[in-house]
Homo-oligomer: A and B are copies of this chain.
Amino acid sequence: MSDAKSKIMQAASKLFLEGGYKALSVRAIAREAGVSTIGIYSHFDGKQGILDALYIEGFAQVEATCALPDGVTDRDAAIETVVRQYLRSVQAHEAHYRLIFGEQSPDFSPSEDARKAGAQAFARLLERSAEFLPDHSADEVRNAALEIWALIHGFVSLRQHVTALKTQSTDWEDQVVRAVRIHVAALDQTRS
């Protein structure tokens, strides 16, 4: 990666982290990077290219939350770890998270490479789900992974958008953990 390209990417990440999508104009990025706007077009595919790179970062962050520290073998503890890591990551990288779920970004359409980042994050969650449900078929594990992700992400998204649902942060986190545990346990008892 060239010097200018790297400067631009750092500037974009910084602005995004600090000010969210709204802070991310082509002129603001160029100014922050100390280059002129044309660099955004020669090194990235304009604003779309910038958003693409941030999108890939966003799903990489999600993927990282599906990794377990050594020593966590108990299913309920593992679920709790993954869920809390996920929720912490959303909090630390809110703009990235909103980007990967299409928020605030009219006209942005992820590239093929960027889409693959979503698939990769899901693959990591699939691995965890297979561990949660060791005696289940591949289809069942896939469905379980999807349901786990739906529950967690559903909570996050509802909390961001339906203000009537705001509760204390720890109560809410505990509820997400509990809901996922209950759901996985119910799936484990439901064999086809």
Contacts and interface: CB of A to CB of B under 8 A. Distances in A.
Interface of chain A, helix or strand or loop or mixed?
helix
This protein's copies in its complex: 2
A155 B150 contact: yes
A132 to B, nearest CB: 15
The 4 closest A-B pairs by CB, nearest first: A154-B154, A150-B154, A119-B164, A186-B186
Interface stretch (A7-15, A35-43, A175-183): A175-183
Contact of A164 (B100, B118, B162, B183): B118
Nearest to A107: B22
Given A153-B157, A182-B186, 18 more contacts: A101-B103, A102-B104, A102-B161, A104-B104, A105-B106, A115-B163, A116-B164, A118-B162, A118-B163, A119-B162, A146-B155, A147-B151, A150-B154, A151-B154, A153-B158, A154-B154, A154-B155, A185-B186
